[in-house]
């Protein structure tokens, strides 16, 4: 499950330490939803009591830069999720507002803005859709049927 991430780290000349492997194993459990950096740090400090917040944060920053994780800033703080598609780093998400489940969206709508952005040079973008996943929609429907 983490072999692709390990190969990516090695190709960028990172050593594969037991701490990095543990961090990857933990993060790989979050392909379908974001986890707070605080929660990641707490987990790692349980495994490695001497590990500092800065060490965890530095590794998460490195993982993000080479495409192992995706980051997001929320009002409650920064959070991360394991890359859901190493073969397609450019993709977008639907995020369920009830359970937090994340689903990849393959279509990129940025070309819809070409006419409005004539002469501009885009350097990046982020596109997310929010709503309720099928399970949460059904739960809400069942609840209102009562």
pLDDT digits (tens, 9 = 90+) for 67-97: 899 888 888 888 999 986 655 556 777 888 8
For residue 62, pLDDT beyond 90:
yes
Judgement on whether residues 51 and 7 belong to the same structural domain of the protein: yes
Residue 74 or residue 12, greater confidence: 12
Judgement on whether residues 114 and 70 belong to the same structural domain of the protein: no
| Cα–Cα dist 136/57, whole Å | 32
CATH of the domain at 115: 3.30.1490.190
Q: What is the pTM of this model?
A: 0.72
For residue 146, pLDDT beyond 60:
no
Angle between helices 37-47 and 53-65 (to 10 degrees): 120
Q: Of 82, 113, 135, which marks where a domain is finished? A: 82
pLDDT number for residue 94? 82
Judgement on whether residues 31 and 53 belong to the same structural domain of the protein: yes
The residue-averaged pLDDT of 41-45 equals: 96
pLDDT number for residue 86? 58
Judgement on whether residues 70 and 99 belong to the same structural domain of the protein: no
Tell me the pLDDT tens digit for each residue of 96-134. 888 888 887 877 777 788 888 888 888 777 777 788 989
Judgement on whether residues 100 and 131 belong to the same structural domain of the protein: yes
Residue 34 or residue 142, greater confidence: 34
For residue 41, give the nearest of 54, 24, 53 by alpha carbon: 53
pLDDT number for residue 109? 79
pLDDT number for residue 38? 94
User: Distances from the Cα of 140 to the Cαs of 91, 129, 136, 146, in angstroms?
Assistant: 29, 19, 6, 10
Judgement on whether residues 55 and 99 belong to the same structural domain of the protein: no
CATH of the domain at 9: 1.10.10.10
Judgement on whether residues 74 and 107 belong to the same structural domain of the protein: no
Q: Which domain holds residue 102?
A: 92-144
pLDDT number for residue 63? 95
For residue 55, pLDDT beyond 80:
yes
Angle between helices 3-11 and 18-27 (to 10 degrees): 130
Residue 44 lies in a domain: yes
Q: Of 58, 82, 106, which marks where a domain is finished? A: 82
Q: How many domains does the chain have?
A: 2
Other beta carbons less than 10 A from residue 67's beta carbon: 15
Would you mind telling me the total number of residues written for the chain in this entry?
A: 146
Judgement on whether residues 68 and 138 belong to the same structural domain of the protein: no
Residue 102 parent element (H or E): strand 102-105
Judgement on whether residues 112 and 46 belong to the same structural domain of the protein: no
Judgement on whether residues 11 and 77 belong to the same structural domain of the protein: yes
Judgement on whether residues 44 and 69 belong to the same structural domain of the protein: yes
């Amino acid at each position: 499950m983490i072999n692709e991430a390990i190969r990516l780290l090695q190709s960028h000349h990172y050593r594969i330490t037991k701490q990095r492997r543990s961090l990857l194993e933990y993060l790989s459990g979050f392909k379908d939803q974001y986890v707070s950096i605080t929660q990641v740090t707490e987990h790692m400090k349980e495994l490695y009591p001497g590990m500092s917040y800065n060490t965890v944060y530095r590794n998460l920053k490195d993982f993000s830069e080479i495409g192992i994780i995706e980051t997001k800033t929320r009002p409650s703080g920064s959070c991360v999720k394991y890359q859901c598609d190493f073969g397609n780093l450019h993709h977008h998400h639907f995020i369920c507002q009830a359970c937090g489940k994340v689903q990849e969206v393959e279509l990129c709508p940025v070309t819809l803005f070409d006419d409005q952005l004539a002469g501009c040079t885009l350097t990046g973008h982020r596109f997310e859709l929010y709503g309720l996943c099928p399970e949460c929609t059904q739960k809400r429907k069942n609840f209102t049927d009562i």
